[in-house]
Structure formats: structure tokens, C-alpha cells
Structure 1
Amino acid sequence: MLDKQPARLANLWNDGKAAAMSEPERLVYRSNLLGSDKRITNYGGGNTSSKVWQKDPLTGEDVEVLWVKGSGGDSASIKLDGFATLYMDKLRALKNLYRGVEHEDEMVGYLPHCTFNLNPRAASIDTPLHAYVPKPFVDHMHPDAIIAIAAARNSESLTKTIFGDTIGWLPWKRPGFELGLWLAKFCAENPEARGVILESHGLFTWGDTPKACYETTVDVINQAIDWFERETMGKPAFGGAVTRSLPAPERRAIAARLMPIVRGMISKPGAAKIGHFDDSDAVLEFVNSAELPALAPLGTSCPDHFLRTKIRPLVIGFDPAKPDIDAVVAALPAALDAYRADYQAYYERCKYADSPAMRDPNAVVYLMPGVGMFTFAADKATARISAEFYVNAINVMRGAAAVSSYAGLPEQDAFDIEYWLLEEAKLQRLPKPKSLAGQIAFVTGGAGGIGKATAIRLLREGACVVVADIDEAALGTAQDELGKVFGKDFVRTVRLDVTDEAGVATAYADSAVEFGGVDILVSNAGISSAAPVEDTELSMWNRNMDILAKGYFLVSREAFRTFKQQKLGGNIVFIASKNGLAASPNAAAYCTAKAAEIHLARCLALEGADHQIRVNTVNPDAVLRGSKIWTGEWREQRAAAYSMQPDELEEHYRKRSMLKRSVFPEDIAEAVYFLASDMSAKSTGNIINVDAGNAQSFTR
């Protein structure tokens, strides 16, 4: 069966909603409904179309326009501007220019000439498939239940058994103009058919109304789900389990141990990978099964799957009954080398004279019995989506292997998709990565003031950020705000008391599981206190030393451990204070602790240099706006020290500075970004004062 508890897809069509929409809006509505369920299609997978009559902006005449999902769009979230629009009469005229299958790629160059109303959205390679189906509404989806049929050895006969003559079947053919002509021929010869299964690919369905098209898609998938449920009832999936899953905490601990090591081995300077961990039931069922050794090397079948997951995964040798992680770590270099060599051989066997250069030969998907699956990619969203695609592939293999035998896409056909010149052109059009893409930052005191401004600055440059703070309410607010602006994939929060040794280790382990490790530590958690020395209680002294000295030591020590596991270098930025260099009255505990931070940074810079670990310091002064330490007593105490009212303090500090300017959290964040980025790649052990000028704190 395809799920532990198979369930029919719900018909979500709402006549009331649809009636109030225009035809293009109904296309968006239909697409969003289909994309909302990953059993129908995964992120970015499949496409939908409607043939709509509209007025030509030049002639004013009614013309038939194909609205079809544009290249790279996602059905679940697509809006009107995600669709390409093309004149149907021009698309039909392209048949007169077609020179045969050996020249079909050139037809993509003609699609822009068919554009309706100057729409800038690029048409996808699947455009001819939609254009030449003689029905006004067409869906092309990649449902697990259908691909399980499409990827079976006897795919054609299974299609006939399940659907009779209502759903046809076509053999594997790479998407493009020729397949569009195949579909047109099938429709002409089978006018009563409701759709067609494409071998090793997916499902095409159609209808005379948007609702009929949508309902046909849902009905066909449900019919396949029902058939698999009956056929697989009582059968153990994948030949049954040969090992048992470790308890969830142990699985997570192993992921935290291994992911930074794997990440270090597969990353390069300037091209680090981000990780994702999945120990869902579907994954564990597969990695613990008898058929894992036979099925995993076959790779995935659907092109959408292996473009995300590579042609096959890497299986990490591990016996959960004898969980020797040190042995796994020792064996990883050879396992990764063997995978890379195998990928190189695959490339050499299949390449053509004009093939693009070989891409990254490292695995994307790593399967570990008893533990789960790790995926690594250039960013978190891609790593997560790659995992989702491989779960779809698992579902497909489960179904195909239960009723027939699973057939991965032939190697040459897989290569022809992966290294397709049109696919390469699409990759070349991708925007240049941001300066901190692939980097993982850990920011303490990150939920407010300087910490939050720093998190925002690093996120803007493409970093993934773990926001650590002791204030749970502020963490919740930060997660919501930053997630909305930068995407939930890029932000994680963790409650952290930096003086808690075990808590610091746990927070770093969480970062390893969520992202794969840590590259940048911004140590910013702080407090403030003020009192004449004779009134300074030991508890106040100890609290300053605990948070501002011990806390900085603990988070830095854990960062060093992670950096050395990854072997990718590392970057630590301390947020100290002008008071670490220049004494202030009535603040002995605070100033001394801040001085300790600065000297600790110097010591760490010495220790880290041989490992390409850079350690630098930013010294702010008088950053009042948004700062939690400047609320309440500290503001009042500092105002009292200067014999003024608390609301006069910010102006006092501005006038006191040499530049006569206020210092804001964003100013500190800019200095942190400079030190955390390659702009300062040859700087370590340095201090940047961001205080608008204070002669007492000039470094000497």
C-alpha cells in the first residue's frame, strides 16, 4: 500500500468560489487545489493549463490563448503571474516548422514568438503537451499512486487492468515537442479517454470544464489508490523489516553527530551545503527494509524526482542493533569517495561531445538504517524539498514493488534529462547566490535589539540563522516576523541560557539537525548592571561574569568543536562593548566582564587560525533603540551616574560622541556582517568600534 493508512483524496472544488472567478482565476484555483496535496504532486512538479478566448490587444478580435504554468512555478502557491500565455494558432503553426525528433529542442526557441500580450513569464518545456491535447482544460500531475504504475516493469498492462480503456498509456519519452505530438495522436485515436499515463513520468488528464478536469484528476488518482490498497492488503512493504528503528532521541543524536561531518566532506569553500533530516515513518519503513539494498541503487524513475535527488542515494552502512557511530564516521570518507567515483563513471559512460561539464558528484540523499534520511543542497528549502521528493520516490517504489517490480529510469535516459542542454540553460539563468548562501549562523541574544538586527542582516545575505535567546516570548515573535519576511526554511529559534553547559551543547545539536552545522557564531547575549563598587553585591558580579564571560566561553567552545568537525573553517564575532576598553564609573562588574570577552576573543583568534577559524569583536556604545538591556534599571542607573533624566540619555550619548551621531542596532549588524563575510577574509583578532567616535576606546 502507498501509505500506512491509505485515504482517498478529497474533492475540494467549491462551486460558489469558482463561479465568481474569471477563467484564468479558475486555473489558479484549480492549480492551488491540486498542488496542496503532495500525493498529487510535489513542490514545483506538474503543470496545468486552460485554453481561454480573449481579445487580442492589437486587433481587438477574440483569439484562443493557452494559459499554462510557466517554467519553475509551484502549483500550490502559483498566482496569475506564474502562467505563460501563448496564441493557440501560433502554437499549432509550429507543427509546420518541426524538423523531427532529432531537432525537437530547437522548438523551445520558437515559444517566445507565440507569446500573447507581451507576457514575460517563460513557457515551460511541457507547453506543447498542453497545447496539442484537444481539450480546453488539462492537468499534468505526478501522483505517487500513478507513478507507482508508471514505474512498474509491466506498466502498460497494469494501466489496462486498473483503468480499462478510460486511461491510456504511452511509453517513456522525454518531455518536449515530440511527446506533445504523441499526446495529440493518442487523443485523436482515443476520443473517449479521460487521460493517459506516461511511463516513468506521470499522469495527463483533461476535461471540458475546469471542474470536470479537476474531478477527473482526483478520481483517477483515487482509483489507483483504491486498487493498490486492495492488492497490497496484508503484504509487508519492501519485503518486511530486517532491522528496527532506534528511539527518536537516539536518531536525532546520531543525526547531530553525523550531519556536520558529512556536510564538511561534501562542501567546498564558497559552496557549503545545508542539511535536512527526515525520520518519518515512510523513510524508516524503507531504510529498515529487506529490499533497501536492492531498490536504493536503482534510483528514482520520475524526472522530477531524480533532478531533485540525483540518480541514486548513498546508503550509510550501519547496524542499529550494534550502534557503533565511531565506525560509521571512520567509514564515511571511503563511502563518499566510492559514490563520487561511481557518479564520475556514470557521467563518463553517458556524456556526449557537447554535454555540460560534470556537476557536483556528491550524493544529495543519504539513507541510514534505523536512523532515517539526510539530504544536502545549496539551501535549506532545496534540501527539504529534495527529501520530500525522495519520500515520493519511496512511495512509488513501495507500490511498484508490491504489485510488480520497480524499474528505475534507464541510465542513459536519466543522464539525458539531468544533463539536457535546456536544463543546463535553465540552471545558468538562476540568479547569482547571495554572499552568505550556504552559511549557517548562530546568534545568541538574537530575539531583540542588536541580535535581531544582526539576524536580519545575515538573513538578507542568504544565511540560515538560528536565533538563540532566553526570552521565549521574544523568540516566538522573532520566529514569526523573520519567517514571514525571509521564509520559514531559513529561520530556527532555540531557547538558550548561555550559562547552561548542557543547554549550549543541545542548542548546537539542534542546529546540526536542522541545518547541518554552524559556520558563524555571533555571541551577543548580554546583561547590564551599574553600582558603585562598594554597593556591588557578589551576586551582581557573578551574574555579569556568568553571562558575559562564561557564556561567551561556552558558546565559543561549542562552536570550535563544530567547526573542527566540519573542517570548513569558521567565524566568531563577539559583541563586546566600548566599556571593555574604556572604564566607566559605577560599572566595575560590567566593564570587567566585557574586558574578559575581548581578551577571550584574542585567545580564540590565536587558537583558531590554523583551522581557518576567524575571531573578531565589535564594540558598540550606547545602542539604546530596541535594546532590552537599556530598559528599566540600567537606563535609570546610567542616567543617575551622569546626573540626568533617563529620557535625556540618548541625546547625551549622541553629543558625547566625536561624530555627534546616534548608534543603532543596524549599525552594529553591518559591522557583524562585514566580519562574518569574505569581505574580511584576511582579518582575525581585530576589534571594530561602532560608537560614533570615543577617544578613550581607541584600540592600542
Structure 2
Amino acid sequence: MENNIMYKILPMIRGLLAEPSGNEDVRFKHIILKFCSDKVVIEFVNSKERDKLNLCPVPLKNVKIPPLKLDSINLNDSIENIKKQISAEMDSFIERNNIKPKIVFLKNIGIVYVDNLPDTGLPLQNEVAIVTGAAGAIGSGICRGLLEKGCYIAATDLPGERLDKLVVELKKIAKDRIIGVGMDITSTDSMANGFNEVIKTWGGVDIVIANAGIPLIASLDEMSLDDFRKLEKVNIEGTLLTLSEASRNLRLQGIGGDIVVISTKNVFAPGARFGAYSATKAAAHQLGRIASLELAEFDIRVNMVAPDAVFSDGNTKSGLWEKIGPDRMKHRGITDENKLQEYYQSRNLLKAKITARHVANAVLFFVTRQTPTTGATIPVDGGLPDATPR
């Protein structure tokens, strides 16, 4: 019971400890929480010696501020009432000490404390993001962009070599600000476990990038229902589960948040023999728009980015284009992959090569809250008149 409820309590505490920023667009200063629940830690929290912080098995730095002791929280109560209890204890602590706590003792559960980190001045400092489909070209590019702005990243994808390789590469530049989480977006349990792992690591989640998706090349008359349902499962149900899990956790934390759905130009300009992908991504796009309506009152913004063909991010190849590239080349009478990329570049108005960095920049526009915007779509396609959002 204590372990399961901890994944609810941590975001509550993180939200309650966040200080107002004075900025109407980004209303709170985010923090990173650390959680310790080893046997020796729980024994200390439950002991009469717990007021002697020098004996604490966790190397606490804010020893001048007494800990908040949550001894009387009824963990069998509803989530709403548990949050009210913690909030009341927090208010009482602030009234007594004229400051918010930096350390929280939870009887029978463990210790939560604020990780004291230097001020980097970066716009996403101490914000935590989950990126689905991170091992692909667009996903890895988004991870890099978020890391550069100070974010902590959980790169999620199906477990395997591609995800492991990405995390090893990103750790070279981000160290402990990146973790890999094996996650299947079509599984409710896998999604919940993935979010819980991130919450246990950093205390909560602020940004969710719904990027995972799969393609299918087939005309409508040759497409099997089973194949279509595979895309439904990933592109629609996976997006729904991502939005649902993100919504629950962001609302519980109570300090707003940002969700970006990586859509596609095919939502607005579908392609022949690409009907299953175009239709299921259109459904995912619509779910994002609906989420923007439902979550705005909680200062949770939901926006979409609609890129055209992105073939790679450095050495990371696009899984989508590995699958559909040969058919697209055959369909257009092209025998060289570079010529295929040139074809997509030549068809947009700006004659621009669309990269994962461009997609990441569009994501960053939304999550750094440059404008008060939700429910919007940024095309990243070099200018395709038939794909302009209407």
C-alpha cells in the first residue's frame, strides 16, 4: 500500500513545494525531489532519533530547516483527501517556520527531500519530461533539444538496443539528467509503471511528448483489418493512454504542465497507400485537441507539431522511413535514398530539408511557453500549401 501510494504522494509534495515564479506563463519554479525508502531510512524515520539529522542515513544538506513530519496521514483515504491532509500539514509548517520545508519524513515510507541544484538560468531548469518513441529520429532530436534547455528527460520506447544506445549517447552530455525507461504505450500497466519510475526518480512530471507511432504502406483495398488494427492500437490507443496518464499525473501535481502530440502533415494532406497512418494519426491529433479543451482550466496546455519527412537525427535513423522508404522510392521511380530525401525537400515552398532539430524547436516553442497557446498546431514542413492547418 505504502509503495503504491508513494507515486501519488510524491507529485503532490512536489507541487506543494514549488514556489510561485511571478510569471503568468510559467507560474511556478520547478524543483527536483529525491526519494529514499531503504530499510535503514524507514527505521530512522520511525525512530525516536529522527530529530538528530546528523544521524540520518541520507546525506541531507538543508539541516538548518527542520523536516516536515507526515505521521498522521491516513493513506487509506481518497487521493483528494490525502492531498488536503498534506496541504494542511504544509500550511501549518510554514506558519510555524516561515518557510517551506526542504525535507519530508513519511512514517513507514521514507524520506523526500529537495535536491539542491545550482541555478543554470535555462528556461526548462528542473522540469521533467517524458518522451515516447524516443529511440527514433524525431524522438531523439526532441530529447536533445529539451536537454539543451535544462530539462530532465525520461527517454521511453520499447526496451531494446536502440533505446539503450540513445541513453548511453545522451548521458555523455547530460549525465544524470537522462534515464531510459522501457515502455509500451499500448499497455495501461506499462504506461503506469513507466510514469511511476520517472516520479520515483525526480518527484514528478511536467512535460509529456506523445511521439510514438508506427506506419503502414497499403492501399485501402489490399489492407487487412488486422494490420489496420495494429496502427489503431499504437497510434490511437497509445496516444489516448499517454494523454490519460499525463493528465492524471499533471493534475495531481497541481502546477500546470505541457503536452505536445507529434502529429504529421498527413493529418491535413493524406497520402495514397498511406491511409491507415494518415487516418490513425488524424485521430491522435483530434485527441490532442480534445485534451486541450479538457485540461486548460488546470493550466495544462496541449499542442501539436505536424512535421513532414524526417529521415534521421545524426546517426539515428527514422524507424518509420526504414519501413516506408523502399515503397516511396518505388512509387516515385527513385533508386537512391538520398534522391528520395531530395524529392521531399524539393516539394516544399522553402526547399528546406526538414530535420529532427526543426521539430524539437517547434516543441520547445510550446513547452517554454513563448505565447499563451493551447490546442494549436505548428507545421514543420517547409511550406506545403495542401497541408496548411485550416
Q: TM-score, normalised by structure 2?
A: 0.90
Matched, 1:550 2:304: no
How many angstroms apart in 2 are the aligned matches of 1:497 and 1:468? 9
- 1:251 & 1:646 partners in 2: Cα distance? 58
Q: In structure 2, which of residues 92, 114, 124 is the aligned counterpart of residue 338 of structure 1?
A: 92
3-state SS of 2:353 partner: coil
Shift of 1:330: 3.6
Deviation at 1:639, TM superposition (A): 1.7
Superimposed CA distance per residue, residues 375-412 of structure 1 (whole angstroms, 9 cap, x where no aligned partner): 1246xxx4xxxxxxxxxxxxxxxxxxxxxxxxxxxxxx
How far has the Cα of 1:279 moved from its partner? 1.1
Matches within 5 A, 1:346-365: 361-365=99-103
Q: Which moved more, 1:689-698 or 1:631-640?
A: 631-640
Corresponding residue number in structure 1 for 2:106 = 368
1:523 to 193, 206, 210: 210
**Of residues 259, 269, 290 in structure 1, which corresponds to 2:10?**
259
Judge conservation of contact 1:635–1:646 (CA < 8 Å) in 2.
Answer: no
Q: What are the within-5 Å matches in structure 2 for residues 535-684 of structure 1?
A: 535-625=222-312, 626-647=316-337, 648-680=339-371, 682-684=372-374
Distance in 1 (CA, whole Å) between partners of 2:77 and 2:328 is: 53
- For residue 387 of structure 2, what is the aligned residue in structure 1? 697
Which residues of 2 match residues 112-511 of structure 1 at below 5 A? 250-268=1-19, 269-289=27-47, 291-292=48-49, 295-296=50-51, 300=54, 307-318=61-72, 323-324=75-76, 326=78, 328-344=82-98, 361-377=99-115, 382=117, 432-488=120-176, 490-511=177-198
Whether the 8 Å CA contact 2:305–2:359 is kept in 1: the answer is yes
> Are the aligned partners of 1:621 and 1:691 in contact in 2 as well (CA < 8 Å)?
yes
Instruction: Report matched runs for 1:50-65 at 5 Å.
Output: none
Give the unaligned 5+ runs of structure 2. Answer: 20-26
Question: In structure 2, what is the Cα distance between the partners aligned to 1:456 and 1:308?
Answer: 32
Q: Once the 2 structures are TM-superposed, how far is the Cα of residue 306 of structure 1 from its aligned partner?
A: 6.9
**Aligned match of 1:184:** none
8 Å CA contact 1:255, 1:277 repeated in 2: no
CA contact (8 A) 1:578 1:691 kept: yes
Distance 1:309 1:674, change over 3 A: farther
**CA 1:518/1:306 → structure 2, altered by over 3 Å: closer, same or farther?**
closer
Structure 1 residues 636, 310: closer, same or farther in 2, change over 3 A? farther
* CA-based RMSD: 2.1
Q: 1:434 to 1:591 in 2, by over 3 A?
A: same
Could you say which residue in structure 2 is the equivalent of 1:84? none
Distance 2:60 2:241 in 1: 42
2:207–2:257 CA contact under 8 A, matched in 1: yes
Displacement of 1:632 in angstroms is 3.5
1:309 and 1:698 map into 2 onto residues whose CA distance is 56
- Which AA in structure 1 matches 2:16? M
Residue 22 of structure 2 is matched in structure 1 by: none
Identity among equivalent pairs (%)? 27
Report deviation, 1:325: 5.4
The superposition leaves residues 46-85 of structure 1 with CA deviations (integer Å, 9 ceiling, x where unpaired) of xxxxxxxxxxxxxxxxxxxxxxxxxxxxxxxxxxxxxxxx
Which 10-residue stretch deviates more, 465-474 or 623-632?
Answer: 623-632
- TM-score of the superposition, structure 1-length normalised? 0.51
Which structure has the bigger radius of gyration?
1
Q: Is the 1:260–1:517 contact (alpha carbons within 8 Å) kept by the matching residues of 2?
A: yes
